[in-house]
Amino acid sequence: MKVVIVEDEELAVEVLIRQIKRVEPGAELLAVLDSVQAAVAWFREHPMPDLAFFDIQLNDGLSFRIFELTDVTCPVIFTTAYDSYALKAFKVNSVDYLLKPVGEPELAKALDKLRLLRGHAAPDMGVMKQVQEMLQSLDQNRYKGRFLVKVGDQLIAVPVADIEYFYGENKVVWLKHRNGRKYVVDHTLETLTGLLDPTRFFRLNRKYITTFNAIRQVTAYSNSRLKITLTDPPDGDPILVSREKAEDFRKWLDG
């Protein structure tokens, strides 16, 4: 059995690999992919494995995004921290869920289910779409609706609708309000990536996370990159989006 793991937590990867080896000694691990972007690139370039394990929440978005950007026709087992009662209704033969921390008995049962699916049949994508919609509905509360900032001795709650972009500068992360003011936020850009709704915010590069409304101009740049101009950028210079991120950015712009 050839296996791929899509997971961004190193400890979770180590535990899952050990358990797979114990439950399925003949399993061959083809790849460990730690982001939506890495997974999309891998599945586009390689033959399908016999089985893939997908964490639901990755640093650059929900793993369901992978199915939107490329064809994944192998059986998939999702790993998740969601409450088991919320997921109970979505248990199906073609797709299973393992709650973190993953237990070996649950892993063994999931593999037994897959063996019953006419060998290694492709998952029921209609069921997966239904599960995706339900889980995204459950996931709505995961994204922050506002951020608390400090102005002098006063605390102000800024709704995400009033935010144009976030940027990092000198190890400090700033929030750019649509009124033109800038506030320090107590989060790293990496943490913000998981707290922000990916349909509303996009991580342009290591320094910027923007909304659509803050983008003033997008132009093609050398080496298949994009040059982005934001509202009142702090350093006055355009922002470059790498060739690797350019395609995802275009899809995000297109809604």
Position 129 scores a pLDDT of 58
- Write the pLDDT tens digit of every residue in 165-199: 999 988 899 999 999 999 999 888 988 988 888 99
End-to-end CA distance of the chain: 37
- Exposed e or buried b per residue across 20-38, where buried means at least 16 C-beta atoms within 10 angstroms of its C-beta: beebeeebebbbbbbbbbb
Lowest mean pLDDT among 74-88, 94-108, 126-140, 143-157: 126-140
Identity of the highest mean pLDDT range in 40-44, 140-144, 148-152: 40-44
For residues 12-33, average pLDDT: 92
Bridge partners (DSSP) of residue 156 are: 149
Position 94 scores a pLDDT of 44
Position 135 scores a pLDDT of 56
In contact, 162 and 178? CB cutoff 8 Å: yes
pLDDT for 210 beyond 80: yes
As a whole number of angstroms, the distance between CA 70 and CA 10 comes to: 25
Confidence of residue 11 (pLDDT cuts 50, 70, 90): confident
Same fold, 2-142 and 146-253: no
Mapped onto helix, strand or coil, the DSSP state of residue 108 is helix
pLDDT for 103 beyond 90: no
Lowest mean pLDDT among 12-26, 37-51, 142-156, 166-180: 142-156
As a whole number of angstroms, the distance between CA 99 and CA 33 comes to: 19
Provide the residue ranges of all domains of the chain, joining segments of one domain with +: 2-142, 146-253
- Write the pLDDT tens digit of every residue in 31-86: 999 999 999 999 999 999 999 999 887 878 888 888 888 888 888 888 876 554 44
In contact, 98 and 73? CB cutoff 8 Å: no
Position 207 scores a pLDDT of 92
Mapped onto helix, strand or coil, the DSSP state of residue 2 is strand
Q: Which CATH class is domain 146-253?
A: mainly beta
Mapped onto helix, strand or coil, the DSSP state of residue 133 is helix
In contact, 87 and 166? CB cutoff 8 Å: no
pLDDT for 130 beyond 90: no
For residues 189-217, average pLDDT: 91
For residues 230-250, average pLDDT: 86
CATH of the domain spanning 2-142: 3.40.50.2300
Cis upstream peptide for 101 (omega within 30°): yes
Higher-confidence position of 97 and 228: 228
Cβ count near 96 (within 10 Å): 23
